[in-house]
A and B are shown apart, each in its own frame.
Chain A
Amino acid sequence: MLKVRQTHPEAAAPRPSRRSFLGGAGVAAGALVIGFTLDPAKQVRAAAGPDLSSAPAQPNAFVRIAADDTVTVLIKHLDMGQGNTTGLATILADELDADWSRVRVAFAPADAKLYNNLLMGPIQGTGGSTAVANSWFQLRKAGAAARAMLVSAAAEKWSVPASEITVSNGTVRHLASKREERFGALAEAAAAIPVPQQPKLKDPSQWVHIGKKLPRLDSVAKTNGTAIYSMDIRRPGQVTAVVAHAPRFGGTVSKVDDKAARAVPGVIDVVTIPTGVAVIAKDTWSAMKGRDALSVTWDERAAEKRSSDAILAEYRETAKRPGIVASEKGDPAAAIAGSAKVIEAEFTFPYLAHAAMEPLNATIERAADGSYDIYAGLQFQTIEQAVAAATLGVTADKVRLHTQWAGGSFGRRATPTADYIAEAASIMKATGGKAPVHLVWTREDDMAGGYYRPMVLHTLKAGIDAKGAITGWQHRMVGKSIMIGSPFEAMLVKNGVDSTTVEGASDTPYAIPSYRFEVHNAREGVPVLWWRSVGHTHTAQAMEVFIDELAHAAGADPLAYRLGMLTGAPRLSGVLKLAAEKADWANRSGGKGQGLGISAHESFGSYVAMVADITADGSHVKVNRIVAAVDVGVAVNPDVIRAQVEGSVGFALSSVLRNKITLTDGVVQEKNFDAYEPTRMSEMPVVEVHIVASDAAPTGIGEPGVPVIAPAISNAIFAATGQRLRSLPLDLSGLKGV
């Protein structure tokens, strides 16, 4: 479990990670000590285990029933588009037998005791596709307990046995006496009933909402402009801050000439903070103009000045040396040496920006009593609260968090350093709390601000015997660890292996007789972070393209070849077979510029397979259709699951075709959507999603759709053209016309 302990400055032992955690030099305050003893990804796999089902029944924490019959479900997670507000409300509403048209949601306040993510220990946070998985029993119990309390209240009121009372669609009934009441009329009496600790949960046959298409709870507000995002917070007297950041990672402010900036109409103040120089103005436009007029000299002695090409070249050299062993079995070197055929390949992956539509921003307001309110798309509430408190020099209970709808995240808002929250707090501190401050990052700040998906290089070597079976597999990965250098290092990195670098490779489900997975942790000044599906973003491409390559070398059908090595992985085999069947894989043709490619991957306890149908015309590739099969256990909201898989294709496609963040002499080159162009409408393939019927406890789908897209497309390009493209983004310029 994650362990969080906040200490006062005087009690804090010096720790190497403290400075980086607090987001820069010069921020003196308490330290937050965070440690994992369990791998969250592994815990998701045990989602049906006793830990989650033994969660206490806490209706008071999760549901409010008002006199007007509205049922408000409190959401402890961030909804950044993945639809978890609808999913979580569905779970509770089903056990409660609520009328869906009266169900509302509200984001819960920061409270690590009540609202911790049960798969992250005592941390309230959203990530690892855990929202539904960790809440499944907790919300069912809360709903069932609330229902039992309404029944008890009605039984008392009508003087009838509770066993004769039924509940459906927001109404409590006693058929024999023909009496009924809406929830609202019973709510007050129900609140006085003791909370049943072991409420009886429904049998799946009794579910009324789970597994059905329900309208999303956020559709109306998000289609008429009334949904309030962090960017839309308007507090009385609020000012806007825009920050000039160092052009290179690790640069700090040396000298500031703010005369011209202060002369810009609308500019109120200019303050130097640990991460740069903040221009504070009455509106965003004035703040941006003020920043343009700033003259800042940066101290770049400690800055990262290398180009990404140079860093990658160093990775390539590093990969020639043995790395730290992440997992091994048998003697792959000997097995490969005795093989009929040996195949080698290199895969490279660039830095990637999350590029959520809503650039990072946060509003902080100081209350008269010296406490603070923070409004943002908060994703790691416990950490954000602690970091803000430390920066502001108050205890965490003096910082109230107000989670808002987030305009995307893809991992960026869940930062172990709470970087942009710390920056907003620094501005609040530097301006003395005179006015509420809205820190706004422009698109350029957001894209050039680091915390990228790491750049990674994989080298692979495998042998196959005369029958085509894999004999041995050697695999080396080089990249910057997300966890090393973060406060998570001590606990999440074991023997130098960061599981978020090697996940999806070193724990491969394929029955390979001998293997050795090694990793090198690169050291560089570019901040890196999880990016929708984390390590799987690159490991799935390396594994699934290389397996495809071996299948072709073996003269085998890529589907049959995979299934032959997955006899111990029935759920992964299941989605592979389903996707293949729905895509009519058996009757495919290929070549002449058209082809199907297949891939499958498990991540975060969910299983996804895809078949991509592409057309290659010279160096232009069009992805026509994606057929996906997913197994996420119980499908709480099938339509939300379909939407997540459709969206994963749209999200990831541009990273397959073109997106990369590059550095020239340490300076990020791609700063807006012109140079880092997301997928557009005309490129979107038709996506078909098939969901495996399952009674296993539900797992997530925010991320698991992403990893399989690149390998399915890469393998389809091979089927269409006979040319093997491995590295991302795919270099289509080398494709020969067919």
Chain B
Amino acid sequence: MLKLNVDGVSHDVDADPDMPLLWALRDHLDKTGTKYGCGIAQCGACTVHLDGQPVRSCQTRIGDVGGAKVTTIQGVSGRVADAVQTAWRSLDVVQCGYCQSGQIMSAIGLLSTTPKPSDAEIDGAMDGNICRCGTYQRVRAAIHEAARSLA
């Protein structure tokens, strides 16, 4: 039995320490907002925060999480998260939406450390998040809008 702190709540998880955090979240803790896309850290759909840092949960073993605080799209909150989600909605970024949990978690991570990102900084932080619907133009615009609203 492993202990995981997810979205501010401590959970006991009965699973192999090798299990990727992604599957523990989705199949054991019902945190289905975090998505499976590729399983090899190529698409970013599974992005969550570990002590505030964006990580790919498909490549994070639950045995390695320890006491770190896991934050998912279903628990993320605060000024930056609000600004990002508000911008995403006002620009209607989403299409199929399946990748957007990961896009938003990466964007919150970016704006938390880089409040006024340049286009190049957005490319750097977001290039690991694939959107097959091709919503990138609006993702970029929404990050700029969120940055403006936080300024």
CB contacts under 8 Å to A, within B14-31, are 15-16, 19-20, 23, 26-28, 30-31
Residue A192 CB within 8 A of the other chain: no
Quick check: B96 and A678 within 8 Å, CB to CB? no
Quick check: B28 and A226 within 8 Å, CB to CB? no
Sorting the interface of chain B by its residue count into under 10, 10 to 19, 20 to 34 or 35 or more gives 35 or more
Q: Mark B18-52, 1 if CB is under 8 A from A, else 0.
A: 01100100111011111111111011010000000
Residue B104 CB within 8 A of the other chain: yes
Quick check: A215 and B92 within 8 Å, CB to CB? yes
Q: In the complex, which of the residues A228, A285, A355, A647 contacts B19, with contact meaning CB atoms closer than 8 Å?
A: A285
Q: Chain B contacts of A359 at CB under 8 A?
A: 36-37
Query: When chains A and B are docked, how far (Å) is the Cα of A640 from the Cα of B45?
Result: 23
Most buried by A among B37, B96, B99, B138: B96
Least CB distance, B71 to chain A, in whole angstroms? 11
Quick check: B97 and A81 within 8 Å, CB to CB? yes
Q: Chain B contacts of A234 at CB under 8 A?
A: 30, 32
Least CB distance, A632 to chain B, in whole angstroms? 17
Query: When chains A and B are docked, how far (Å) is the Cα of A651 from the Cα of B136?
Result: 10
Quick check: A358 and B27 within 8 Å, CB to CB? no
Given A650-B131, A673-B38, A81:B96 Cβ within 8 A: yes
Q: Chain B contacts of A646 at CB under 8 A?
A: 134-135, 137-138
Residue A310 CB within 8 A of the other chain: no
List of 6 A-B pairs having minimum Cβ-Cβ separation, nearest first: A650-B134, A225-B33, A407-B98, A81-B96, A222-B97, A81-B95
Given A285-B19, A672-B42, A223:B94 Cβ within 8 A: yes
Query: When chains A and B are docked, how far (Å) is the Cα of A218 from the Cα of B135?
Result: 15
Question: In the complex, what residue of chain A is closest to B101 when comparing beta carbons?
Answer: A225
Q: Chain B contacts of A405 at CB under 8 A?
A: 96-97
Q: Mark A657-692, 1 if CB is under 8 A from B, else 0.
A: 000000000000000111001111110101100000
Residue A643 CB within 8 A of the other chain: yes
Most buried by A among B27, B32, B40: B27
Q: In the complex, which of the residues A216, A679, A680, A686 contacts B94, with contact meaning CB atoms closer than 8 Å?
A: A216
Least CB distance, A393 to chain B, in whole angstroms? 30
Residue B2 CB within 8 A of the other chain: no
Given A223-B100, A649-B134, A674-B40, A643:B92 Cβ within 8 A: yes
Query: When chains A and B are docked, how far (Å) is the Cα of A17 from the Cα of B39?
Result: 37
Quick check: B40 and A651 within 8 Å, CB to CB? no
Residue B132 CB within 8 A of the other chain: yes
Most buried by B among A224, A408, A677, A684: A224
Quick check: B133 and A651 within 8 Å, CB to CB? yes
Query: When chains A and B are docked, how far (Å) is the Cα of A406 from the Cα of B99?
Result: 11
Question: Can you give 15 contacting A-B residue pairs, CB < 8 Å?
Answer: A215-B92, A216-B94, A220-B89, A222-B100, A223-B85, A223-B93, A228-B32, A229-B35, A356-B96, A443-B39, A647-B134, A672-B39, A673-B42, A681-B129, A681-B140
Q: Chain B contacts of A335 at CB under 8 A?
A: none
Quick check: B27 and A283 within 8 Å, CB to CB? yes
Residue A252 CB within 8 A of the other chain: no
Residue A433 CB within 8 A of the other chain: no
Quick check: B92 and A216 within 8 Å, CB to CB? yes
Given A407-B96, A407-B98, A646-B134, A215:B140 Cβ within 8 A: no
Quick check: B132 and A223 within 8 Å, CB to CB? no
Quick check: A643 and B122 within 8 Å, CB to CB? no
Residue A219 CB within 8 A of the other chain: yes
Query: When chains A and B are docked, how far (Å) is the Cα of A284 from the Cα of B57?
Result: 14
Least CB distance, B18 to chain A, in whole angstroms? 8
Residues of B whose CB lies within 8 Å of any CB of A are 15-16, 19-20, 23, 26-28, 30-40, 42-43, 45, 72-74, 85, 88-89, 92-101, 104, 122-123, 126-127, 129-140
Q: Chain A contacts of B31 at CB under 8 A?
A: 225
Least CB distance, A452 to chain B, in whole angstroms? 16
Query: When chains A and B are docked, how far (Å) is the Cα of A639 from the Cα of B92?
Result: 9
CB contacts under 8 Å to B, within A532-562, are none
Query: When chains A and B are docked, how far (Å) is the Cα of A221 from the Cα of B85?
Result: 11
Quick check: B35 and A673 within 8 Å, CB to CB? no
Residue A442 CB within 8 A of the other chain: yes
Least CB distance, B82 to chain A, in whole angstroms? 11
Given A357-B131, A682-B123, A224:B26 Cβ within 8 A: no
Quick check: B136 and A407 within 8 Å, CB to CB? no
Quick check: A224 and B85 within 8 Å, CB to CB? yes
Q: Mark A98-122, 1 if CB is under 8 A from B, else 0.
A: 0000000000000000000000000
Q: Mark A71-101, 1 if CB is under 8 A from B, else 0.
A: 0000000001111000000000000000000
Query: When chains A and B are docked, how far (Å) is the Cα of A417 from the Cα of B27?
Result: 30
Given A225-B101, A674-B42, A82:B95 Cβ within 8 A: yes
Q: Chain B contacts of A81 at CB under 8 A?
A: 94-97, 133
Quick check: A651 and B132 within 8 Å, CB to CB? yes
CB contacts under 8 Å to B, within A616-675, are 639-640, 643-644, 646-651, 653, 672-674
Query: When chains A and B are docked, how far (Å) is the Cα of A215 from the Cα of B86?
Result: 12
Residue A719 CB within 8 A of the other chain: no
Quick check: B98 and A229 within 8 Å, CB to CB? yes
Residue A240 CB within 8 A of the other chain: yes
Q: Chain A contacts of B23 at CB under 8 A?
A: 283-285
Query: When chains A and B are docked, how far (Å) is the Cα of A222 from the Cα of B35?
Result: 12
Q: Chain B contacts of A226 at CB under 8 A?
A: 33, 74
